[in-house]
Amino acid sequence: MKKVIFAGGGTAGHVEPALAVANWLRANRPKWNLVFVGTKNGLENQLVPKAGFAIHQIPKVLMPRQLTPATLIWPFQIIVATWRAIKICKDADLVMGFGGYACPPIYLASAILRKPIFIHEANAIPGWANRLGAPFAEEIFIAFNRATNKLGRWKDAKLTGMPIRSEIISSGEKSGTEKIEERNRQIEKWKLTLDKPTVLVFGGSQGSRHINEAILQSLSVFTEKGVQVVHSVGKNNPLPTSTENYLPLSYIDDMAAAYQASDLVIARSGALTCAELAAVGKFAILIPLPIGNGEQSANALDLQAAGAAEVIEDSKFNADWLISNWDEIWRKAKSYTPSIKQEFSASEVIGKSIIDKLEKVQ
């Protein structure tokens, strides 16, 4: 029986693609042992067991971005985490990494043990964890073609797109009648009004206080315009009071139905969100998170170029901007015809590559 370790976590953007590939492998190689690795407080600890997979934990090690006293202990932290990762990886046949805090120790452990490493990079600009693992990887898969604009192993990366949940792919492929029926079911489940436009707002799996504030300050205008809002505020943020036209939620589990019920999306431009928007064909206002190496701004470029999104800098997005630009944005949303389509399943492409690698080694 083959054992594959999936590493990646912290946010849904790392966990969901890993789960998509693992679910495809489980369906096609049900006897294989598929195990996840994450950190103590990552979202993977909720999503992975819910999907029916085992998960191991390793210490979370943050990459120092500036010289501080904490920088001095970082080498010891990475050694401890890598030692734990070695114990987890010693009987693995292959390690599949998706970025995030769990990956660096797993990549180092797998390299020490000479285990095959496959990597999927979700963002248009690769993150530091996957950049660390790239020299050791046998295969690198990318979601955005511009991720190959790098030196070294990235030049040989395979463009697969983003592995996303099968229910979201299926939702995007439904007929017009089926989409209307699914929309109406979800609107009724939310106890909202069927004949009002619905805006879906979320700021990633952790929520966004900046987006939350802008939406709350705009609610009176939305109500005047006959627009209802479904707002995922994030599990760690306080839940506002609901009204006839405003439904605040801590987290949305069924994103396929939520997308189908919406007429417009307001969100961050994480790689997973961008891929899901393309799959379901929804117009969006995207507010890139202004941290890291600018990957969220780069992620949004394809949707913006296709006329599928209005992209606004985080520093410029507020209630005044949203209210003053609303009529034009709503016009674009109503006239938008989906034009971006992934012609293959990234989960299947990556899954088959894993099978080919392991079934050649007998």
Sequential pLDDT tens for the chain (362 residues): 899 999 988 777 889 999 999 999 999 999 999 999 999 888 899 899 999 999 999 988 776 666 666 667 777 888 899 999 999 999 999 999 999 889 999 999 999 999 999 999 998 888 889 999 999 999 999 998 776 666 677 888 999 989 998 888 888 888 889 999 999 999 999 999 999 999 999 986 565 889 999 999 999 999 999 999 999 998 888 889 999 999 999 989 899 999 999 999 999 999 999 999 999 999 999 999 887 677 899 899 889 998 999 999 999 999 999 999 999 999 999 999 887 666 568 999 999 999 999 997 55
Phi, psi (degrees; rounded to nearest 5) at 141 = -115, 140
pLDDT computed for residue 35 by the predictor: 97
pLDDT computed for residue 333 by the predictor: 94
Q: Strand 198-202's sheet: what is its strand order? A: 246-249, 228-232, 198-202, 264-267, 284-286, 309-311
Q: How far apart are CA 212 and CA 14, in angstroms?
A: 23
- Helices H, strands E: what count in the chain? 14, 13
Beta carbons of 111 and 86 less than 8 angstroms apart: no
Residue 159 burial (CB count, 10 A)? 13
Closest by CA position to 276, among listed 20, 2, 29: 20
- For residue 209, with 0-12 CB atoms within 10 Å meaning exposed, 13-18 middle and 19 or more buried, which class applies? middle
**Cβ within 8 Å of residue 360, ≥6 positions away:** none
Q: How far apart are CA 25 and CA 52, in angstroms?
A: 13
Q: How far apart are CA 324 and CA 211, in angstroms?
A: 16
Closest by CA position to 4, among listed 129, 118, 111: 118
Helix (H) or strand (E) holding 170: helix 166-172
Residue type, 223: T
3-state SS class at 78: helix
Q: How far apart are CA 46 and CA 287, in angstroms?
A: 26
Residue 109 burial (CB count, 10 A)? 26
All domains of the chain, ordered by start, with CATH?
A: 3-163+345-359 (3.40.50.2000), 166-335 (3.40.50.2000)
